[in-house]
Amino acid sequence: MTKVLIAPSILSGDFAMLGESVACVEKWGADYVHVDVMDGTFVPNLTFGMPAVKAVRSYSKLPFDVHLMIMNPEKYVAQFVTSGADIVTFHPDSSSDIHGALDTIKSMGAKCGLALNPDKSLDLILPYIHKIDMVVLMGVYAGFGGQSYIAETDQKIMALKQIITERNLDIKIEVDGGINCDNASRVVACGADVLVAGNAVFGASDPAAAVQRIKG
Ligand code: DX5
Ligand code: ZN
């Protein structure tokens, strides 16, 4: 069985040394750098945009997994890819041109995906299932790091895994929010391929050990 991939979120890093946080993610043995982009409208918090992604891109060779929590992502996806994003995901309920945004990301050679908050049904992604490389299932409501994992997410992961297996699709399931050393193995058993971890990695006294423990 392939090992789960770990994507530490630099949202939990030190914003005064964002490049250093990006470099640490690679040093700690993780697989992706997860970048949480928030606009203060789709979610009640603001983080960083394209210039910040571009500025820190050279600090790591790992793929940049950019999670857009912004309204109208179709307006910005191209600029995020140009700035160094390798994977771009967004929430279908934030976009009026989902097909267009996905097509733009793919046409630029990056991977694309859709993200679902805990109260959003898997039905929302089904029309795009043949186009996407990843589905992000939120274990918390998007907006802030350090929240607790919502237990019902387990069933959603299993249901999505079943759809992917039955239809023989090549789609990764990323679970984002509230992942820690205690729940990671259960979430992987449900079907997760990639785990985002913010506080559980950046808040650990030994982040490299935390990455290994979450990997299981
Ligand atoms: C929430 C973000 C997550 C989150 C992860 O809006 O998308 O990536 O910050 O942080 P933890 O692991 O601390 O929940
Ligand atoms: Zn995220």
pLDDT at 143 (0 to 100): 98
pLDDT at 2 (0 to 100): 73
For residue 45, give the ligand 1 atom closest to its CA. Answer: 6
Domain total of the chain: 1
For residue 142, give the ligand 1 atom closest to its CA. Answer: 6
- Measured in Å, residue 199 CA sits from the centre of ligand 1 at 8
- Measured in Å, residue 31 CA sits from the centre of ligand 2 at 15
Closest-CA residue to 73 (of 111, 51, 44, 99): 99
**Total-model pTM:** 0.98
The set of catalytic residues is 36, 176
- Angle among Cα 64, 190, 129 to the nearest 5 degrees reads 60
* Below-70 pLDDT ranges, the chain: 1
**CATH number assigned to the domain comprising residue 72:** 3.20.20.70
Domain range for 9: 5-215
pLDDT at 1 (0 to 100): 59
What is the per-residue DSSP string for 113-137?
Answer: EEEE-TTS-GGGTGGGTTT-SEEEE
Length of the chain, please?
Answer: 216
Query: Ligand 1, residues 6, 12, 87, 180: which to mutate, most atoms within 8 A of Cβ?
Result: 12
- Measured in Å, residue 196 CA sits from the centre of ligand 1 at 7
